[in-house]
């Protein structure tokens, strides 16, 4: 007898069988047989090790499908060079779901300097090179050859952010949309629960995969001949692959067009013609409701790696006893592609659901009383809301962080944190995922005091990223004044609470618009404020971010105005500037200071950043940098407008 249907958004999924939830999704036929499964409905193939934790996409999607009544097997990190691993679970009844894992495989396999990584936190023992480059395409190619006629559905971050023609940093070229290269039938973008449930339901009813063209949050292919004869009314037609791969202004226009259609309420279908096919994107899937999120995160995850692994999976340890409280981010940082994946609309779980999850964690072996994190993309967006989000979507022409219509009061999260830390068995509850410091200038709920006094493990993560205003504007980040104001408040609260807490700021080098003198200014700012500099990121152009579009085209995609782009050697030197204390980097720092017309900062004494090369005469300070100063601006100190905050983490001199 069929069970009552599981509701996933607007999809009502009739359960095809009654299966008790397993402790782990099966990874072998033998494990499936013990559960009474002779053929899996769906087989998920992933570039990560299988960890049954809701922070890992394969576990999340697998549990949702199982809960809906579909049997699911997992093939994790298969050896793609031969067929053995890919055929070990046999042929699925409905489809293969393919993902590179939690991270784009190129980001996972290479450093920002494009050197091969030797490690992989998503692999047992942290061992690298357990997945191929462009893993989603490689897995799809192999499975298509081994199982012709079986539907292939690609999903995950790699597929999601490569759904249109895109600049690929690793080949320094514009590549096809991934569906134009991978022999898959459908692409799922964004958070995939509703989409995969809808696909499973339709295929289970016997509908051909080629007819599944109306599921929100999916992309599909159309033949050129069908496209030429079709009515394109209602579609946003992007410049073609041929245009965007040869004309950078066309690339920027295409990006701007599809960027504006990534809202589930206002978004329209988007099409892009490729040499042999046409890629169609449906509007994004509707946000999950509170009840749907609560249900998904209440599924029986074991929060452990599959028992077949003999070594730990490093990515699990920082999140094993952490809580996802919400999804989505309205910050709109230019270098982040979250707008194209989770979207700008924040979807929060209920307080009661989170409490139940922590109560379940308390009963688990290995729980020490520490909740490692309660957050999401930005912890203090939990509970944020806007009257437009449930009807017309996020506004195209407004920045949510500065809009009066956005309700960002932190009272709900304060209530949640107080209840969590009062649970028997809980010693501490930390906020480790970082907060947006420009969201509580007035802080009527005492949120920051609550965080400083009870929920910071010594260091509070924030991300000013830079201090040069024209750079932070291109990043869509607040200026340094907002960061300094926050530091003052943080320091004052530290004195009130009597706790020794530190801010751990994140900074970025090599971002579009950033010149060498901007990095000199940032280095001086770090020196003058005794800021800790380990958390430095060299900008990496990953698919489908605004900053990547700028990097490739040299244009702001929304204004088409030119943007300065640091590349090649300059990117390397810019990063070194933030590590000016590191003796191994000082040759690069000297090079950067000379490039910026600031050789006066090479010499002995505290007023200089680096010592001169031994045996070379120090350069006298020149208050008027010459032509070597790239932009001709004279003010490069970047000095703060307020006294150096005491409670910012200092680096040992």
Per residue in 527-541, pLDDT (tens digit) is 998 886 666 789 999
How does residue 613 score in pLDDT terms, banded at 50, 70 and 90? confident
Give CA–CA dist 481/585, Å, rounded. Answer: 29
Shared domain check, 537 and 414: no
Written as six digits, the tokens of 495 are 């004195």
DSSP 558-622: TT--B-----THHHHHHHHHTTTT-GGGHHHHHHHHHHTT-GGGBSSSTTSSBPPPTTSPPPPP-
Number of domains in the chain: 3
Torsion of CA 253, 255, 256, 259, to 10 degrees: 160
Copy the structure tokens of residue 117: 């990584």
CATH number at residue 489: 3.30.750.200
Same-domain pairing of 181 and 52: yes
Domain residues for the domain of 217 are: 6-221
Half-sphere exposure of 552 (CA within 13 A, CB side): 32
For residues 420 and 479, state if they share a domain: no
Q: Which residues pair with 323 in a beta bridge?
A: 374
Q: Which residues pair with 141 in a beta bridge?
A: none
Same domain (yes/no): 519, 643: yes
404 and 480 belong to one structural domain: no
Rg over alpha carbons for the chain, rounded to the nearest Å, is 26
Confidence of residue 646 (pLDDT cuts 50, 70, 90): very low
Residue 442 CB burial class (10 angstroms; 0-12, 13-18, ≥19): exposed
Q: Which two tokens stand for residue 169?
A: 């940093």
The answer to whether residue 281 is domain-embedded is no
Residue 653: pLDDT over 60? no
Q: Can you say whether residue 133 is alpha, beta or left, with left for phi > 0 and alpha for psi between -120 and 50 degrees?
A: beta
Instruction: Tell me the average pLDDT across 296-303.
Output: 96
**Same domain, residue pair 182 and 41:** yes
**Residue 274 maps to a domain:** no
Q: Render pLDDT for 411-463 as a digit per residue (tens, 0 to 9).
A: 899 999 999 999 999 999 999 888 888 887 666 668 888 888 899 888 888 89
Instruction: Please tell me the pTM assigned to this model.
Output: 0.90
Buried b (16+ CB within 10 A) or exposed e, 269-288: bbbbbbeebbbbbbbbbebb
- Same-domain status, 30 and 159: yes
The pLDDT tens digits of the residues spanning 367-389 come to 999 999 999 998 989 998 888 88
What confidence score (pLDDT) does residue 113 get? 87
* pLDDT computed for residue 226 by the predictor: 95
Least confident of 26-40, 212-226, 255-269, 397-411: 397-411
Tell me, yes or no, whether 428 lies in a domain: yes
pLDDT at position 295 is: 97
Percent of residues, the chain, with pLDDT higher than 70: 90
Per-residue pLDDT, averaged over 218-240, amounts to 94
Q: Is residue 442 part of a domain?
A: no
Specify the DSSP element, H or E, that contains 75.
strand 72-76
pLDDT at 297 over 80: yes
The reply to whether 54 and 149 lie within a common domain is yes
DSSP state of 299: S
Place of tokens 């994790």: 76
C-alpha 209 chain-centroid distance: 29
501 and 640 assigned to the same domain: yes
Q: Which residue has the tokens 């949120």?
A: 447
Domain boundary among 197, 221, 245: 221
Boundary residue ending a domain (189, 221, 253) = 221
What whole-number distance in Å separates Cα of residue 522 and Cα of residue 528? 10
Instruction: Read off the CATH number of the domain in which 415 is found.
Output: 3.30.750.210
645: pLDDT strictly greater than 90: no
Same domain, 25 and 94: yes
Would residue 524 count as lying in a domain?
yes
For the segment 40-46, the average pLDDT, to the nearest whole number, is 98
**Would 419 be classed as within a structural domain?**
yes
Instruction: List, as own/partner pairs, every contact residues 59-63 make where C-beta atoms lie below 8 angstroms and the sequence separation is at least 24, other chains included.
Output: 59/25, 59/301, 60/193, 60/296, 61/97, 61/155, 61/192, 61/193, 61/196, 62/25, 63/21, 63/25, 63/296, 63/299, 63/300, 63/301
Inform me whether the pLDDT recorded for 272 exceeds 90.
yes
Give the whole-angstrom CA distance, residue 157 versus residue 191: 9
Answer with the one of 416, 432, 448 that is the final residue of a domain. 432
Provide the 10 A C-beta neighbour count for residue 308.
13
In a domain, 52, yes or no: yes
Shared-domain flag, residues 210 and 115: yes
Same domain, 173 and 49: yes
- Specify the pairing of strand 11-13 against strand 459-465: unpaired
Residue 610 lies in a domain: yes
């Amino acid at each position: 007898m069929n069970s009552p249907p599981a509701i996933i958004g607007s999809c009502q999924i009739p359960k095809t069988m009654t299966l008790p939830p397993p402790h782990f999704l099966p990874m072998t036929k033998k494990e499936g047989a013990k559960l009474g499964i002779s053929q899996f409905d769906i087989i998920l193939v992933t570039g990560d090790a299988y960890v049954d934790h809701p922070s890992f996409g394969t576990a999340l999607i697998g549990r949702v499908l199982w809960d809906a009544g579909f049997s699911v097997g997992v093939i994790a990190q298969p050896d793609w060079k031969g067929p053995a691993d890919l055929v070990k679970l046999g042929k699925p009844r409905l489809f293969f779901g393919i993902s590179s894992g939690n991270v784009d495989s190129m980001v996972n396999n290479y450093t920002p300097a494009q050197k091969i990584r030797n490690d992989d936190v998503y692999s047992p023992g942290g061992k690298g090179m357990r997945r191929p480059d462009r893993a989603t395409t490689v897995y799809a190619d192999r499975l298509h050859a081994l199982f012709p006629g079986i539907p292939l559905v690609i999903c995950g971050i790699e597929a999601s952010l490569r759904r249109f023609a895109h600049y690929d940093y690793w080949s320094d070229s514009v590549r096809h949309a991934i569906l134009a290269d991978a022999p898959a039938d459908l692409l799922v973008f964004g958070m995939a629960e509703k989409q995969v449930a809808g696909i499973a339901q339709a295929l289970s009813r016997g509908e051909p995969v080629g007819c599944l063209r109306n599921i929100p949050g999916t992309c599909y292919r159309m033949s050129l001949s069908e496209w030429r004869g079709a009515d394109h009314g209602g579609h946003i037609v992007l410049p073609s692959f041929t245009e965007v791969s040869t004309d950078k202004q066309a690339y920027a226009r295409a990006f701007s067009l599809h960027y504006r259609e990534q809202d589930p309420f206002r978004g329209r279908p988007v099409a892009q013609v490729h040499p042999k096919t046409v890629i169609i994107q449906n509007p994004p899937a509707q946000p999950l409701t509170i009840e749907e999120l609560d249900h998904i995160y209440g599924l029986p995850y074991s929060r452990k790696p599959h028992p077949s692994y003999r070594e730990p999976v490093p990515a699990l340890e920082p999140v094993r006893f952490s809580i996802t409280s919400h999804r989505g981010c309205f910050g709109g940082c230019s270098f982040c592609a979250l707008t194209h994946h989770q979207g700008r609309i924040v979807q929060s779980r209920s307080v009661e659901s989170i409490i139940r999850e922590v109560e379940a964690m308390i009963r688990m072996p290995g729980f020490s009383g520490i909740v490692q994190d309660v957050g999401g993309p930005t912890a203090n967006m939990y509970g944020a809301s806007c009257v437009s989000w449930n009807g017309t979507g996020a506004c195209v022409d407004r920045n949510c962080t500065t809009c009066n219509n956005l309700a960002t009061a932190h009272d709900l999260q304060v209530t949640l944190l107080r209840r969590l830390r009062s649970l028997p068995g809980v010693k501490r509850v930390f906020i480790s995922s970082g907060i947006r410091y420009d969201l509580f200038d007035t802080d009527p709920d005492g949120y920051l005091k609550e965080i400083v006094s009870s929920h910071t493990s010594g260091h509070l993560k924030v991300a000013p990223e830079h201090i040069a205003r024209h750079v932070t504007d291109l990043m869509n980040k607040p200026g340094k004044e907002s960061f300094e104001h926050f530091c003052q408040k943080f320091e004052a609260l530290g004195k009130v609470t009597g706790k020794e807490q530190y801010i751990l700021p994140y900074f970025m080098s090599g971002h579009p618009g950033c010149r060498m003198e901007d990095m000199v200014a940032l280095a001086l700012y770090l020196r003058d404020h005794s800021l800790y500099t380990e958390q430095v990121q060299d900008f990496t152009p990953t698919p489908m971010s605004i900053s990547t579009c700028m990097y490739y085209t040299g244009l702001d995609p929304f204004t088409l105005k030119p943007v300065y782009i640091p590349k090649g050697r300059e990117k390397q030197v810019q990063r070194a500037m933030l590590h000016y204390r590191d003796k191994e980097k000082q040759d690069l720092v000297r090079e950067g200071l000379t490039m910026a017309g600031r050789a006066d900062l090479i010499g002995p004494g505290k007023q200089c950043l680096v010592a001169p090369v031994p045996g070379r005469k120090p350069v006298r300070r020149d208050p008027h940098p010459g032509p070597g100063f790239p932009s001709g601006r004279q003010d490069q100190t970047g000095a703060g407008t307020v006294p150096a905050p005491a409670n910012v983490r200092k680096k040992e001199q």
